Amino acid sequence: MPGWYAIVGPVGMSDKVVATLNAAMQQTMADPLIKAKLNELSLLPLSGGEVEIKRRAAADLSYWSNFISKNNIRVE
């Protein structure tokens, strides 16, 4: 089962702060040493920002909700 990580902040964070943090993360993820370490840990970095994270979260919610429903999975 694949998983993913994202850096998120509070609702209402200013666009300037979001842009600054996103630029810093993109720079960090482009670093060859960071890429090598993530590869060593079998992690695949994906670039993107707020829109991509929201899209991925929505797609995962849809997929797993459907999977749970189809397989009648229950938590008791």
The pLDDT-based confidence of 8 (bands split at 50, 70, 90) is confident
Of the candidates 72, 44, 42, 74, which has an alpha carbon nearest to the alpha carbon of residue 56? 44
- Core vs surface per residue 11-32: b (16+ CB within 10 A) or e: eeeeeeeeeeeeeebeeeeeee
**Above 90 in pLDDT, residue 61?**
yes
DSSP 71: T
The pLDDT-based confidence of 6 (bands split at 50, 70, 90) is confident
- Model confidence pLDDT, tens digit, residues 14-59: 999 999 999 999 899 889 999 999 999 988 887 778 888 889 999 9
**Above 80 in pLDDT, residue 1?**
no
